[in-house]
Amino acid sequence: MIELTEVCRTYQVGTQPLDALKELSASVPDGGYVAVMGPSGSGKSTLLNILGCLDRPTSGSYRLDGDEVGTLSESELSEIRRYKIGFVFQSFHLVPRLDAAENVALPMVLAGVPPEERRERVAAALDSVGLGRRARHRPAELSGGEGQRVAIARATVMRPRLLLADEPTGNLDSVAGRQVMDLLEEMNAGGLTLLVVTHDPAVAARASRVLIMKDGRIVERASGTTLAGQPAP
């Protein structure tokens, strides 16, 4: 599904170039489960932005489902983000004044999905994360784990094939974090391609494959089981 070939991303900082990604090559198969680790400044966020079609490589190739992302128009990239990719963030990014159901419905409102279909899909999405009875609760009335599950329902309500999760357990206690990872892995088992960025080796160890980054490069490729028991960097 994902093919990165010698991807570089350079930013101009004043008069100096900053190489955020350096000749990075990697692949993720359809239905794969990959974790990305590395210290702050290693390039994880830049990589996630490129994978999510929020940014483009300066050079190199990013192919998503066989399409060369760098040649697509802004409207084509918007369509990919809307229908193919879901995003989950550490801070949930729920709209405080909207209840859980309204937050989940937002992507469908923007996509012009008819109201009746929206209601059916929102109900199914909330049921799938175990929050059908919390549909009318606002974010302030939800626990951290519940808020993240609402965010996952919102990220998957458009039925994407790729889910990008940036530190999805970073604001959760250990119990809620395990519940969120269990949920993401259940979706992955159903065919959703899952890529998780994390600082936590215990989270990364759950993935099939782990990419470890430093200074804009992948410096190690491992199976998740090799990280079990390692301390956080």
Q: Please report, in tens digits, the pLDDT of each residue of the chain (233 residues total).
A: 999 999 999 999 999 999 999 999 999 999 999 999 999 999 999 999 999 999 999 999 999 999 999 899 999 999 999 999 999 999 999 999 999 999 999 999 999 999 999 999 999 999 999 999 999 999 999 999 999 999 999 999 999 999 999 999 999 999 999 999 999 999 999 999 999 999 999 999 999 999 999 999 999 999 988 776 555 44
**How confident is the model at residue 229, as a pLDDT?**
56
H or E element in which residue 109 lies? helix 100-111
Listed by start position, the domains of the chain span 1-84+161-233, 95-159
Structure tokens at 6: 């010698």
Exposure on the CB side of residue 188, measured as CA atoms within 13 A: 22
User: Residue 74 and residue 170: Cα distance in Å, rounded?
Assistant: 31
**pTM to 2 decimal places:** 0.94
Segments in 29-85 forming alpha helices (H): 44-51, 74-83
- Pick the closest to residue 142 from 103, 198, 111, 189 (CA basis): 103
Report the distance separating Cα 18 and Cα 14, nearest Å.
Answer: 10
Cβ 103 vs Cβ 95: under 8 Å: yes
Q: What's the CATH class of domain 1-84+161-233?
A: alpha beta
Rounded to an integer, what distance in angstroms lies between the CA atom of residue 69 and that of residue 77?
8
What distance, in Å, lies between the first and last C-alpha atoms of the chain?
Answer: 29
d(CA 133, CA 122): 12
- Do residues 99 and 133 lie in contact, with contact meaning Cβ atoms separated by under 8 Å? no
Query: From CA 165, how far away is CA 104, in angstroms rounded?
Result: 16
Nearest to 87 by CA among 26, 160, 144: 160
